[in-house]
Structures are given as C-alpha cells and as structure tokens.
C-alpha cells in the first residue's frame, strides 16, 4: 500500500488576509509549494484578492426580486435547487466538491474568523448544500455532524494568533483554543460532514522574527504531511446513536467531561451505538 | 432611589439583518419602541441599511498608502492615535462611547454572527480603543476583561436561532448556547470592559407563527426592562487576582468547572483576590 501522502489529492486552501507579505500569506504560499511538490493539486480561494462579497443578501439569488421579502434560508434553498445561485457562490461550492481536503488559513480576529471568511461560509454554505441535507423526520435531523455533502473530505484550520499560548490553554484567560474554535470546527466543518484535524496555531505572530520562521515552517510542513493520515478530532456522529431523539447526548456518555468536550468520543466509548435506544450505560 | 429603569439612559442597538420584515427587524423595532417609551434615548446602527463595509483592509486608515505593507493592528493603532481612521469607524466608536448599554440583534448564522456584524467588530474595535488599552508590562496585560474603554456599559445579545432549544442545551448536539456565544460574550463584549447580560435567544424562528409573536415580544420586553438591573454574567476580571502572571487561572479557582465556565466566578469565590499572589486556596 502506498504511503497516503504520495497519492495525489485535491486540496483547496481558503485564505483570508489583506496583506500578501504577511505571515498568513507566507503560510499559504508554503502550503501551496509543499503540497504541489508532493504531487497534489492545489487551488486557492484568496478571498481578499478575489474581492469576495462578504455580505449575504438578496443579490445572492438570481431569482430574488428587489423589494421582495427575503428569508435568506428559503431563498438559498430555492436558488440552490433551481440553479439560480450567484455564480461566485457556485464556483466555491464546486471547489469544495472537487477537494479531498480543505485548509483554512486566517488570522484569529476577535476569537473568530475575519468577516470576509465568515461571509464565505454564510454565502457558500447554501441550504441543500451544507444544511437541510438528508431526511428530516420526527427522529432524524438530516445528515449533519459527520454526514452530509462534504463527507469524505478533511479540513484543517491554520490560524495565526497575536497573543501568547498560555492565554489559550485550558485555564488561560482567553478560553481554551479548542473551545474558541468549537463553533467553527464542529459547527462549520464537521456539520456538513468533513473530518476535522486538530488546528495548527501560531502564537505571538505580531512579534515573530525572521529567525523564528524556519521553526514555524517546519512545524506547519509536518502538519501538511499528515493532512490525510493524522487522526481527526473524534467528534461524535449525530446519527451514530450517541444522541437521543431530542438531539441530546444520552446519559452515560461523556462522563467526566463537560462543555464542548462532551461532543468528543471518549476513550473506551464506542464510535457507533444503536440508534434510538435509550441509555447505553447506566449514568454513573 | 428611583427605579433604575426610570432613569433615562442611552442605548445603542447594533442590528444585522437583510430583511426589515423579519423577526430580527420586529425585535429591533420593538426594542426601539419599548425603550423610547420609557424615556431612554435609542440609536440604531442598522448595518445592512447603512451598507456597512464588512471587510477590514487598508482603506480603513486615511494614512495608509495603497501598496504599502499592511499590518492591520499596527495601522489601526497609528490611525486611532493620529485621528486618521475612516469616518464610518469613528462614528461607531462615538456611538459606543455615548451608550450606557449596547444591544446586538442578529440571527445566529453558523453558530456566530453574520459577516456584516463580524466586520463591524473587526473594524470598529480599533487598537487603542478596544484592545491595546492600559499598561502592558511583564505582569500586567493591559485593561481587558472587565476593564477598558467600554467599562461601565452593559451589553446584551438578542439572537434568533432556526434550530430547537434542546439542541443548544448543555448536552445538546450543537453545543451549549453559552459555549457557542463565549467567543462573543467574553471575547468581544467583556474584553473591552462591558458587563454582559445573559443572552435573549429565540428558537425555531423559521417556524414562528404570528400567534407566537406576543409571547416572544413579552419575554423580550421583560429582558429589556432588566437591561440596567439584571445581574450580568459573572465573568472573572482579568486584573482581579484570579489569573496568575501567565494569565492562567490560579489553582483552587473554578474547581468542579471546566471549559468556558471556569471563567465565571463560582458561588463562594471572592470577586477580587490579591493580585500577583499564588494560589488563593489549596487545589483540591
């Protein structure tokens, strides 16, 4: 069996920084170079260079009349189903479908993505594409969290952070990095089905010197080498039997964890459980 | 002593929805009406109507030459200090300084704010205004988390959510609402000094009927009535002695909690502790 990193793959880099000569730009360029040299095919959505329209509105739908009352979700559903989405949205959806892995390169601004990247999510993640997928009935809430349109793809965040690493630890003042990224890693990447790798985080990036760049580059390359082989975060599948019919984690699971971490499969817990049954184990 | 809700206050509503005839629009209108009727002065930043520029870039600074290398943070610092910020940014900063309370009305899109509102934060929260405030030396990391430019103001999120309430409970599949909002409530609102009230959340808003509106309106009005009297979330002050010199929560504090909740003062813990000392209590 060939080493997975030698199998040519398609990789989409979604890159959001206004300055090409930034650390973010350097990391994006490094990723393109390194992955291409390994035989992968790489495409970049450089949101600032593309002048990506960040703001979701009625102009995203070719069939939306000016002055017509807008429910963005319903309009998105109808335009997606009817082939009437704005072409810039369609182009990004096609890139996502083409990709085997998606890398997001951006600076943490106010503990989240820059607005231009949030606007890429808001607009590209159409109803019928990223949500509202699969059967929705009394007990089943569609294909999401590990299933959905983007299943079979991997995703990784590469974030630059002005602050210091201790501030982002489990007891650090800013909150733990995994907690801060949960809305993105779980709610944006895992939701439509992608497997999510642990993030690559660079700290104190405003003070990074030229001398420190080689060590950052080396660490990043190691993560790029593991893009298809590293273990993803063990988020629980929505339809894997861990949640009850109200989409609440069943008693007995996640014992000893709390907060966002109860949504990670704990060591010793089965990845899949019978769907629809009650508690898989007594609640200790 | 007069009832606090009878003292005229200044309230800024930052509102982000593309459709005036939406639930978000109705909640915003209700807030304007209700607060004005009580004698408060209300101003609204209607980001869609204002065609707010969502994307942070060099054009935000009057002294930034096209083609010049952009460090957004440094450029923000220099422009803020030198009075060279874009006028739309200055206008919003003035509204924040004018306000006694700030209400944010928006739909949860992908477990966060719409891009246009994120872009309001990214751009209005200038270096020297919302961060980089106060003394930074070896042990002190400036005035943030409970201190800073916006100290003395209150803030509240009012969010509409398409999904169902159980999905957002402590064990719900989407993650607990407080965890999902932590990057905003702690990292955006508490960071520059505002006291943060618990959020007002409306669920299943895509299916809300006309018949349900009065109960939503009544619940929202009750929260508006408590804007200056309800207890804020008891986030820990950065400079209140709870964090050590590395900005890590001291041993013995937050015992029994984990995740984002360790940053809330627990019952029985003092709000302030001597700064710079080690553990206030043995780590149990």
Task: State the CB neighbour count (10 A cutoff) for residue A200.
Answer: 20
Read off the pLDDT of residues A21-42 as tens digits, 9 standing for 90 and up. 999 999 999 999 999 999 999 9
Closest CA to A56 of A116, A146, A139: A116
Report the residue of B14, B17, B18, B125 to disrupt the A interface, i.e. the one with the largest count of A CBs within 10 Å: B18
Read off the pLDDT of residues B89-139 as tens digits, 9 standing for 90 and up. 999 999 999 999 999 999 999 999 999 999 999 999 999 999 999 998 877
What is the C-alpha separation between A205 and A211, in angstroms, rounded? 13
| Distance (Å) from the alpha carbon of B192 to chain A's nearest alpha carbon | 11
- What's the pLDDT at B261? 96
Helix, coil or strand: residue B194? coil
Q: What is the mean pLDDT of residues B218-235?
A: 98
- What's the pLDDT at B1? 47
Cα B270–B273–B278 angle (5° rounding)?
Answer: 125
Domains of chain A: 4-232 (3.40.50.360), 236-284 (no CATH)
| Distance (Å) from the alpha carbon of A219 to chain B's nearest alpha carbon | 24
- Average pLDDT over chain B reads 93
- What is the pTM (predicted TM-score) of this model? 0.95
pLDDT band at residue A276 using 50, 70 and 90 as cut-offs = low
| Distance (Å) from the alpha carbon of B226 to chain A's nearest alpha carbon | 27
Contact B191, B151 (CB under 8 A): no
Q: B248 and A172: CB-CB below 8 Å?
A: yes
CA of residue A2 relative to chain centroid, distance: 28
What is the C-alpha separation between B260 and B181, in angstroms, rounded? 10
What is the C-alpha separation between B220 and B217, in angstroms, rounded? 5
Q: What is the mean pLDDT of residues A1-27?
A: 88
Give the bridge partners for B195, in sequence order: B154
DSSP state of A248: B
Environment class of A21 (CB within 10 Å of its CB; exposed 0-12, middle 13-18, buried 19+): exposed
Cα B267–B271–B272 angle (5° rounding)?
Answer: 145
What is the C-alpha separation between A262 and A264, in angstroms, rounded? 5
Helix, coil or strand: residue B43? strand
- What's the pLDDT at B238? 96
What is the C-alpha separation between B246 and A203, in angstroms, rounded? 14
What is the length of chain A? 284
Token representation of residue A181? 């990224």
- What's the pLDDT at A150? 98
CA of residue B50 relative to chain centroid, distance: 20
Contact list, B54 vs chain A (CB under 8 Å)? 54-55, 115-116, 119
Facing A248 at nearest CB: one of B122, B171, B261: B171
What is the C-alpha separation between A150 and A192, in angstroms, rounded? 5
Q: A118 and B121: CB-CB below 8 Å?
A: no
Residue that has been written with the tokens 């182009």 in this structure: A91
- What's the pLDDT at B3? 58
What is the C-alpha separation between A108 and A102, in angstroms, rounded? 18
Task: Report which of residues B195 and A3 the model is more confident about.
Answer: B195
Read off the pLDDT of residues A204-258 as tens digits, 9 standing for 90 and up. 988 888 899 999 999 999 999 999 999 999 999 999 999 999 999 999 999 888 8
Q: What is the mean pLDDT of residues B49-70?
A: 95
Read off the pLDDT of residues A156-197 as tens digits, 9 standing for 90 and up. 999 999 999 999 999 999 999 999 999 999 999 999 999 999
Q: What is the mean pLDDT of residues B149-159?
A: 98
Residue that has been written with the tokens 């109200």 in this structure: A246
pLDDT band at residue A271 using 50, 70 and 90 as cut-offs = confident
The torsion region of residue A51 among left (phi > 0), alpha (psi -120 to 50) and beta comes to left
- What's the pLDDT at B223? 98
Contact B80, B97 (CB under 8 A): no
Facing A58 at nearest CB: one of B18, B171, B174: B18
Helix (H) or strand (E) holding B211: none
Read off the pLDDT of residues B157-208 as tens digits, 9 standing for 90 and up. 999 999 999 999 999 999 999 999 999 999 999 999 999 999 999 999 888 8
Phi, psi (degrees; rounded to nearest 5) at A172: -75, 155
Read off the pLDDT of residues A38-96 as tens digits, 9 standing for 90 and up. 999 999 999 999 999 999 999 999 999 988 999 999 999 999 999 999 999 999 999 99
Q: Is the dihedral of CA B75, B81, B86, B91 positive or negative?
A: positive
């Amino acid at each position: 069996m060939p080493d997975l990193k030698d199998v040519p793959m398609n990789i989409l880099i979604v890159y959001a920084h206004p300055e090409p000569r930034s650390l973010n730009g350097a990391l994006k360029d490094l990723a393109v170079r390194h992955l291409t040299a390994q035989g992968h095919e790489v495409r970049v959505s450089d949101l600032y260079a593309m002048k990506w329209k960040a703001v979701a509105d009625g102009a995203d739908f070719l069939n939306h009349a000016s002055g017509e009352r807008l429910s963005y979700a319903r309009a998105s559903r109808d335009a997606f189903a009817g082939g009437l989405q704005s072409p810039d949205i369609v182009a990004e959806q096609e890139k996502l479908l083409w990709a085997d892995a998606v890398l997001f390169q951006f600076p943490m601004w106010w503990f989240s993505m820059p607005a231009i990247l949030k606007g890429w999510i808001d607009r590209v993640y159409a109803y019928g594409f990223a949500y509202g997928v699969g059967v929705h009935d009394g007990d089943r809430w569609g294909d999401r969290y590990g299933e959905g349109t983007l299943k079979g793809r991997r995703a990784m965040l590469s974030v630059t952070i002005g602050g210091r690493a201790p501030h982002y630890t489990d007891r650090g003042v800013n909150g733990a990095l995994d907690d801060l990224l949960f809305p993105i890693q779980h709610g944006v990447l895992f939701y439509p089905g992608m497997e999510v790798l642990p993030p690559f985080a660079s700290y104190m990036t405003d003070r990074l010197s030229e001398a420190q760049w080689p060590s950052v580059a080396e660490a990043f390359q190691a993560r790029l080498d593991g893009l298809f082989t590293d273990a993803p975060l063990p988020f629980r599948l929505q339809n894997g039997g861990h949640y009850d019919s109200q989409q609440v984690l069943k008693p007995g699971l996640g014992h000893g964890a709390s907060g966002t971490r109860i949504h990670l499969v704990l060591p010793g817990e089965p990845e899949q459980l019978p769907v629809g049954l009650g508690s898989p184990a007594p609640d200790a």
